[in-house]
């Protein structure tokens, strides 16, 4: 058996950063709590026999949150050979609270003081020797971000593991020590000696998740008697007694490290936060930033590069060269068509948007890493609370801007089951990276790059979440008050170029891989279906199998303004992967054939859409059911029944919004009253009613009960 080292620490102390540095893997590093819910395992670089575990961040080992349960089940149940406790040195006292608990587990502990670069920048020093003496375990100063001394910290942990010397628990005040000593004597026959202290404390706290099998009822009664007498003597409940004692120890330890207790001064971060999270400027600043992010990536910098890729690379360079080659080797017509129309047409159309995606990913990585995004969750908490969701629900949505799947998985951190469901249902309303090509295609091809189109996609997503929140919270299924959202705001910092590039590259690589696999296959399938009829004769697209299938589907979407069978089919292929919507357009509108004159592809597409139907198409694709991967993630998190509800709700919502957009947009131009418009008016009225009707409160029952008395 090799050596197991567990990384434990508060949320945001830099565990994942250190984990990545030690194992060379690239787990998601987020500047907000709760990103790591599952524990992740990796091999220590250069040590084949040492595994490192990245545990979820916790402030304490109490059993109140899912993160705490995951972390402590591992630490107590599977007993790593050593714990490497990451401590945010810029926030020492707060972090040492957890350390006092880790020292009780009967496992060797090494403390890594992280963020030393921040401490140094603030002009601080830490008395490492003094802290190490007070803790009774090795202490190493590191900076996970800059890669300083990370290896030394790991080696120190290996040494501790090999020595096998369990850490020494901190001593509390004499009265408490006396009580704990009595309980320890009672529990110690039933547990390993090294864990006696841990179980004594847990039994004292009446923590029902800590159970020792061998403990008889008689012994438990004795323990309860000890607890009650201690509580009476101190006139406080047992759990608070321990909590207070830990705070006292954490303060003593921080003083041993040369930090005056409770020190506080206004840092640059605090000053930035006064503006960025203020009631007045917070939301306008957020809106402006998100506007800029989408505007820059989709409408300016990104477009210039995308145009080059589309016009030059997939227009003038690749197709003629490939065509020339295929003709010269005497390739069959159908194969030429498959390669040119199917593969280059479809995959090329999707890959053309890679530059825009890379710019978007880079900007998002920056906002996330520097610490701005976590402020948004904080800001959103105020807004979300009004309609019964907490800011914690916004974190999955922030993650979902890259990809919905990890976003949906991040809903696990939400304790309240109803809020968790609602968040999982709404997370994919935020445009993920894969929806970006759709936005860019429609903004560029059908709106001539109008400045408002791409940012509006993001804001429609946020509005959809808020409206859904209001509507669903009024139903009995979701009613209830939000859980409090407590969170420490980490200081801002300038991300390293390397970490930004890694972030961007990871996502871009995943996108390219998808283009080469799923999208490639889907485009080939679309090409096949649009090139042959049911008797497998090669025909014009208009007479193909696909046209027949699309023809059945199209009338469903006619009220939304895009009854063209190609648009309907493209929306359907988005279920496989959202990029496919663009890939399918590429195949069906002959991206490769006409790309020599790039304008023509756009031109053919534009004939099928009006401004109103193009925007309705965009919004439908943003809000409707996500791709199968994301639906699968919802199923894993919520189960089959709730997945049906989620997908049904999303499609219905998307349909209703797209209907209204198209019908009102058309009316604004034509001034004609149509049945479609009437339907839109009915939908709008129903929607408004759902938004403003009085809420179904769970208290109703209570009120009725009270009235009956
Ligand atoms: P976790 O929640 O404990 O896994 O923390 P992460 O590894 O996700 O890091 C949280 C944030 O702190 C990220 O923005 C990191 O870039 C940042 N961070 C981590 N280590 C350091 C460090 O040594 N110095 C500084 N300045 N920032 C760090
Ligand atoms: Mg983490």
Residue 189 lies in domain: 174-257
Counting ligands in written order, the one closest to the CA of 31 is 1
List pocket residues of ligand 1, CB cut-off 6 Å.
9, 11-17, 29-31, 35-36, 57, 114-115, 117-118, 143-145, 369, 490, 493
Spacing, Cα 119 to ligand 1 middle (Å): 13
In this structure, the answer to whether residues 253 and 304 fall within a common structural domain is no
The contacts of residue 284 (CB under 8 Å, 6+ apart) are: none
Q: CB of 86 within 8 A of CB of 7?
A: yes
Residue 268, in any domain of the structure:
no
Q: What pLDDT is attached to residue 600?
A: 61
The domain boundary residue, chosen from 163, 182, 215: 163
Structure tokens belonging to residue 626: 């996500």
In this structure, the answer to whether residues 439 and 588 fall within a common structural domain is yes
Report the percentage of the chain scoring pLDDT > 90.
42
Residue whose token pair is 């395992």: 41
Position 123 pLDDT exceeds 90: no
Output the residue whose Cα is nearest ligand 1's atom 28. Answer: 145
Spacing, Cα 248 to ligand 1 middle (Å): 27
In this structure, the answer to whether residues 394 and 433 fall within a common structural domain is yes
Q: Which atom of ligand 1 is nearest to the CA of 368?
A: 14
Q: What's the distance, Cα to Cα, between the start and end of the chain in Å?
A: 66
Spacing, Cα 101 to ligand 2 middle (Å): 20
> Minimum mean pLDDT among 244-258, 322-336, 476-490, 579-593: which range?
476-490
Spacing, Cα 435 to ligand 1 middle (Å): 29
Q: What pLDDT is attached to residue 591?
A: 67
Q: What pLDDT is attached to residue 169?
A: 95
Q: What pLDDT is attached to residue 476?
A: 82
Mean pLDDT of the region 195-216: 90
User: Looking at residue 560, what DSSP letter applies?
Assistant: G
Q: CB of 290 within 8 A of CB of 375?
A: no
Q: Which atom of ligand 1 is nearest to the CA of 15?
A: 3
Residue 191, in any domain of the structure:
yes
Spacing, Cα 271 to ligand 1 middle (Å): 21
**CATH number, residue 202:** 1.10.287.1770
Question: pLDDT by residue (tens digit) across 19-33?
Answer: 999 998 766 665 444
Spacing, Cα 23 to ligand 2 middle (Å): 14
Output the residue whose Cα is nearest ligand 1's atom 24. Answer: 115
Taking phi over 0 as left and psi of -120 to 50 as alpha, with beta for the rest, 323 belongs to alpha
Output the residue whose Cα is nearest ligand 1's atom 17. Answer: 14
**CATH number, residue 61:** 3.40.50.300
Nearest-5° Cα angle at 600, 594 to 604: 105
Q: What pLDDT is attached to residue 276?
A: 85
Question: pLDDT by residue (tens digit) across 107-122?
Answer: 999 999 999 998 888 8
Spacing, Cα 162 to ligand 2 middle (Å): 27
Q: Which atom of ligand 1 is nearest to the CA of 118?
A: 26
Counting ligands in written order, the one closest to the CA of 58 is 1
Q: What pLDDT is attached to residue 350?
A: 84
Position 413 pLDDT exceeds 80: no
Output the residue whose Cα is nearest ligand 1's atom 19. Answer: 14
In this structure, the answer to whether residues 294 and 246 fall within a common structural domain is no
In this structure, the answer to whether residues 244 and 337 fall within a common structural domain is no
C-alpha to C-alpha distance for 578 and 454, rounded to whole angstroms? 16
Output the residue whose Cα is nearest ligand 1's atom 9. Answer: 14
Cα 328 from chain centroid?
A: 50
Position 598 pLDDT exceeds 60: no
Mean pLDDT of the region 208-216: 86
CA distances from 59 to 93, 105, 391, 393, 572 (A): 12, 16, 19, 20, 45
C-alpha to C-alpha distance for 439 and 353, rounded to whole angstroms? 10
Q: pLDDT confidence of 696, banded at 50, 70, 90?
A: low
Position 329 pLDDT exceeds 70: yes
Structure pTM?
0.67
Spacing, Cα 16 to ligand 1 middle (Å): 7
Q: CB of 340 within 8 A of CB of 593?
A: yes
Structure tokens belonging to residue 648: 């049904």
C-alpha to C-alpha distance for 647 and 626, rounded to whole angstroms? 8
Spacing, Cα 19 to ligand 2 middle (Å): 9
In this structure, the answer to whether residues 665 and 615 fall within a common structural domain is yes
In this structure, the answer to whether residues 552 and 533 fall within a common structural domain is yes
Spacing, Cα 13 to ligand 1 middle (Å): 6
Which ranges of 539-673 would DSSP assign to H, the alpha helix?
Answer: 545-557, 565-573, 580-588, 591-594, 598-608, 611-623, 628-638, 640-670
In this structure, the answer to whether residues 220 and 118 fall within a common structural domain is no
Q: pLDDT confidence of 106, banded at 50, 70, 90?
A: very high
The domain boundary residue, chosen from 130, 163, 196: 163
Pocket test for ligand 1, best of 9, 14, 18, 491 (most atoms within 8 A of CB): 14
Q: How many other CB atoms are there within 10 angstroms of residue 149's CB atom? A: 19
Report the percentage of the chain scoring pLDDT > 70.
90
Position 625 pLDDT exceeds 60: yes
Position 435 pLDDT exceeds 90: yes
Which residue would you say has higher pLDDT here, 266 or 569?
569
Mean pLDDT of the region 508-518: 86
Position 595 pLDDT exceeds 70: no
Residue 168, in any domain of the structure:
no
Q: Which atom of ligand 1 is nearest to the CA of 28?
A: 8
Q: pLDDT confidence of 644, banded at 50, 70, 90?
A: very high
Q: What pLDDT is attached to residue 507?
A: 83
Residue 700, in any domain of the structure:
no
Output the residue whose Cα is nearest ligand 1's atom 25. Answer: 115
Residue 503, in any domain of the structure:
yes
Mean pLDDT of the region 530-546: 86
Which ranges of 413-496 would DSSP assign to H, the alpha helix?
Answer: 417-426, 436-441, 453-473
Q: Is the dihedral of CA 414, 416, 417, 420 positive or negative?
A: negative
Position 17 pLDDT exceeds 80: yes
Mean pLDDT of the region 236-254: 88
The domain boundary residue, chosen from 128, 144, 163: 163
Output the residue whose Cα is nearest ligand 1's atom 21. Answer: 145
Output the residue whose Cα is nearest ligand 1's atom 6. Answer: 14
Residue 262, in any domain of the structure:
no
Q: What pLDDT is attached to residue 83?
A: 97
Position 256 pLDDT exceeds 70: yes
SS3 helix, strand, coil % of the chain, rounded to 5?
Answer: 65, 5, 30
Q: Which atom of ligand 1 is nearest to the CA of 116?
A: 23
> Minimum mean pLDDT among 9-23, 267-281, 566-580: which range?
267-281
Which residues face 647 on adjacent strands?
A: none
Which residue would you say has higher pLDDT here, 479 or 564?
564
Pocket test for ligand 1, best of 145, 153, 395, 399 (most atoms within 8 A of CB): 145
Output the residue whose Cα is nearest ligand 1's atom 2. Answer: 12
In this structure, the answer to whether residues 159 and 235 fall within a common structural domain is no
Identify which of 231, 217, 229 has the alpha carbon closest to the alpha carbon of residue 186. 217
In this structure, the answer to whether residues 137 and 237 fall within a common structural domain is no
Average pLDDT of the chain? 86
Spacing, Cα 32 to ligand 2 middle (Å): 8
Counting ligands in written order, the one closest to the CA of 95 is 1
Position 272 pLDDT exceeds 60: yes
Q: pLDDT confidence of 340, banded at 50, 70, 90?
A: confident
Q: Is the dihedral of CA 110, 114, 120, 122 positive or negative?
A: negative
In this structure, the answer to whether residues 64 and 133 fall within a common structural domain is yes
Q: CB of 348 within 8 A of CB of 321?
A: no
Counting ligands in written order, the one closest to the CA of 495 is 1
C-alpha to C-alpha distance for 191 and 182, rounded to whole angstroms? 15
Residue 263, in any domain of the structure:
no
Q: What pLDDT is attached to residue 708?
A: 47
Residue 460, in any domain of the structure:
yes
Mean pLDDT of the region 644-652: 96
Q: How many other CB atoms are there within 10 angstroms of residue 354's CB atom? A: 19
In this structure, the answer to whether residues 608 and 685 fall within a common structural domain is yes
Position 46 pLDDT exceeds 50: yes
Position 594 pLDDT exceeds 60: no
Q: What pLDDT is attached to residue 27?
A: 67
| Total number of domains in the chain | 3
Q: What pLDDT is attached to residue 94?
A: 85
> Averaging pLDDT over each range in 354-363, 603-612, 700-709, which range is the top one?
354-363
């Amino acid at each position: 058996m090799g050596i197991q080292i567990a990384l434990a620490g508060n949320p945001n102390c830099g565990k994942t950063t250190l984990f990545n540095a030690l194992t060379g893997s690239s787990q998601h590093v987020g500047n907000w709590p709760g990103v790591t819910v599952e524990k992740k395992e990796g091999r220590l670089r250069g040590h084949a026999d040492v595994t490192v575990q990245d545990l979820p961040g916790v402030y304490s080992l109490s059993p109140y949150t899912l993160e705490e349960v995951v972390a402590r089940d591992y630490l107590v149940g599977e007993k790593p050979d050593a714990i490497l406790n990451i401590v945010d040195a810029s926030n020492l006292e707060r972090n040492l609270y957890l350390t006092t608990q880790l020292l009780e587990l009967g496992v060797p502990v090494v403390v890594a003081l992280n963020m030393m670069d921040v401490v140094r920048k603030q002009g601080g020093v830490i008395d490492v020797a003094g802290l190490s003496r007070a803790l009774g375990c090795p202490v190493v100063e590191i900076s996970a971000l800059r890669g300083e001394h990370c290896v030394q910290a790991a080696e120190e942990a290996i040494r501790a593991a090999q020595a096998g010397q369990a850490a020494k628990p901190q001593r509390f005040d004499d009265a408490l020590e006396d009580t704990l000593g009595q309980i320890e004597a009672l529990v110690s026959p039933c547990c390993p000696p090294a864990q006696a202290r841990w179980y004594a404390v847990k039994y004292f706290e009446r923590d029902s998740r800590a159970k020792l099998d061998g403990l008889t009822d008689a012994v438990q009664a004795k323990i309860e008697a000890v607890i009650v007498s201690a509580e009476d003597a101190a006139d406080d409940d047992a759990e608070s007694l321990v909590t207070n004692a830990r705070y006292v120890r954490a303060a003593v330890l921080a003083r041993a490290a040369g930090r005056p207790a409770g020190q506080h001064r206004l840092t640059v971060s605090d000053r930035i936060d006064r503006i960025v999270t203020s009631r007045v400027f917070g939301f306008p600043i957020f809106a402006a930033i998100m506007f800029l992010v989408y505007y820059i990536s989709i409408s300016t910098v990104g477009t210039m590069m995308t145009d080059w890729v589309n016009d030059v690379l997939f227009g003038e360079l690749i197709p003629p060269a490939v065509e020339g080659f295929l003709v010269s080797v005497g390739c069959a017509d159908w194969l030429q068509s498959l390669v040119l129309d199917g593969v280059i047409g479809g995959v090329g159309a999707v890959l053309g948007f890679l530059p825009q995606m890379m710019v978007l990913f880079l900007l998002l990585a920056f906002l996330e890493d520097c610490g701005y995004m976590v402020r948004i969750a904080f800001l959103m908490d105020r807004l979300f609370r009004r309609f019964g969701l907490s800011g914690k629900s916004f974190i999955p949505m922030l993650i979902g801007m890259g990809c919905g799947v990890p976003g949906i998985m991040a809903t696990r951190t939400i304790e309240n089951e109803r809020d968790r469901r609602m968040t999982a249902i709404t997370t994919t309303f935020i445009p993920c990276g894969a929806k970006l090509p759709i936005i860019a295609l429609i903004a560029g091809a059908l709106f001539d790059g109008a400045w408002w189109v791409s940012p509006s996609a993001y804001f429609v997503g946020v509005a959809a979440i808020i409206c859904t929140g209001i509507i669903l919270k009024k139903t009995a299924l979701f009613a209830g008050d939000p859980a409090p959202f407590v969170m420490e705001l980490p200081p801002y910092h300038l991300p390293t170029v390397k970490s930004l590039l890694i972030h961007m590259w990871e996502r871009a690589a995943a996108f390219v891989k998808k283009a080469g696999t799923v999208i490639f296959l889907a485009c080939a399938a679309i090409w096949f279906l649009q090139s042959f009829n049911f008797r497998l004769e090669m025909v014009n697209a208009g007479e193909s199998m696909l046209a027949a299938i699309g023809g059945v589907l199209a009338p469903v979407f006619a009220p939304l303004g895009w009854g063209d069978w190609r648009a309907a089919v493209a929306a359907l292929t988005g279920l496989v992967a959202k990029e496919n919507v663009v890939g399918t357009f590429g195949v069906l509108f002959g991206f490769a054939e006409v790309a020599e004159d790039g304008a023509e592809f756009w031109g053919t597409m534009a004939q099928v859409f009006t401004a109103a139907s193009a925007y309705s198409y965009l919004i439908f694709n943003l809000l409707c059911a996500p791709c199968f991967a994301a639906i699968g993630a919802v199923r894993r998190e919520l189960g089959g029944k709730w997945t049906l509800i989620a997908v049904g709700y999303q499609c219905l919502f998307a349909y209703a919004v797209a209907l209204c957009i198209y019908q009102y947009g058309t009316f604004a131009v034509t001034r004609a009253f149509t049945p479609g418009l009437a339907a839109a008016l009915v939908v709008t009225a129903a929607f408004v009613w759902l938004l403003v009707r009085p809420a179904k409160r769970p208290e109703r029952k209570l009120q009725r009960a009270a009235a009956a008395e």
